[in-house]
Copies of this chain bind each other. A is one copy, B any other.
Amino acid sequence: MQDTPRGARLHIAIFGRRNAGKSSLINALTNQNIALVSDVPGTTTDPVYKAMEILPIGPVVIIDTAGIDDEGELGALRVERTLQVLNKTDLALMVIDQAAGVSDWEEGLVAELKKRNIPVIGVVNKIDMGQPAAAETLNWTKRLAIPMVAVSAKTKQGVEELKRQMIKHAPENWEGPPILGDLITGGDTVVLVTPIDSAAPKGRLILPQVQAIRDVIDQDAIAVVVKETQLADALANLRQPPRLVVTDSQAFKHVAAVTPDDVTLTSFSILFARYKGDLETLVAGAKAIDGLKPGDRVLIAEGCTHHRQKDDIGTVKIPRWLQQKVGGELKFEWVSGGNFPTDLEQYQLIVHCGACMLNRREMLYRLAVAREKGVPIVNYGVLIAYVHGILPRVLMPFPAARRVLDGK
């Protein structure tokens, strides 16, 4: 059984002061003893991302915060860590010890969540140890102005009601657009061209290909999966032409030659640029490559720290392509992992990875920061299509992005 990709899981952040019972609440929600539970404040020492299943909500990532609670890291580091969590949170739980009540700390953090339109539910915990007075509870509810649920993580009292509230308040459309489902209808045929190169793990397909096949069959459509060398045969064997052909960028030239001009053609990179972010912003970023001059500063940002291969895309290929295009040296800087700088004014271009390890909310946040600072941002897939001259054709299904490219 393969896992749901992390980026396609609802990200639920658990906030609360030390010893409010964050870890026990996670256990109670998941019926598992995964999180270490302890009465000693500060057992958890870092925000931890746990992929799990909460029935009936489905696959989620629980962000188990710590170091950013009231007694955690001080000052700038605490603020930075909090922001990193907020940037990827789809739904927040604010855990409150019934004996300790609501303080300025909860009030401040709830205000930050509201500012970002992140839904938050107050969880009054440890009601097995004592019931707060009705007046007190009313006062907390008034102060935070969020839905509140009383639970005992220990006895599980109230936990089912909390799950119901979580389903009710989870943001709609947190997943963003489908990968390609909105481009097709039931009964359509979609051809997926999947070259098998050395990067593909033995006996498997890479994740975007699997996700695209699943999206096709979820629409009651038919997925035809072929290597580029079998594409012509596959097309010839279809009585009705396909509604859509999707190709890996590396096979684009061959695929474009074989696919009739009236068949819509795009690439996995373009589909995932849209799925994970905002295609128009990224296409505008690609156009900005034309304005780069020798000596300009370019930030290359990756969402994870991966094992670099010999001809690494982020450190070797993209710098080479950009410098060829510019006809001179550029100044490159690299960042990776959860850190995305906010002092972006110093760069003329930001090139971001495909964000397979980031959720859509975080990628949209990064795009927003770049836009706010007036710095063009493009991702790997859109950049590759642009420098290879295939961007106009692969934008066929996306007229708004095509207009950005054509400057209309």
Contacts and interface: CB of A to CB of B under 8 A. Distances in A.
A215 B205 CA distance: 10
A211 B356 CA distance: 21
A113 interface: no
Interface in A1-21: 1-5, 8
Given A196-B218, A226-B217, A207 B2 contact: yes
A107 to B, nearest CB: 36
A240 interface: yes
Interface string A207-235: 10011011111101111111101100110
B204 A4 contact: yes
Contact of A230 (B59, B194, B222): B222
B2 A210 contact: yes
Interface residues of A, number: 47
A206 B8 contact: no
A308 interface: no
Given A230-B221, A237-B240, A211 B204 contact: yes
A260 to B, nearest CB: 16
B203 A5 contact: yes
Contacts of A194: 217
Interface string A154-197: 00000000000000000000000000000000110100001010
A204 B204 CA distance: 13
B204 A210 contact: yes
Interface of A: 1-5, 8, 58-59, 186-187, 189, 194, 196, 199, 201-207, 210-211, 213-218, 220-227, 229-230, 233-234, 236-240, 356
Given A204-B211, A225-B225, A238-B239, 19 more contacts: A1-B201, A1-B206, A1-B356, A3-B204, A4-B201, A4-B203, A8-B202, A196-B218, A203-B211, A203-B215, A205-B210, A210-B210, A216-B225, A217-B226, A217-B227, A217-B230, A220-B230, A224-B224, A224-B225
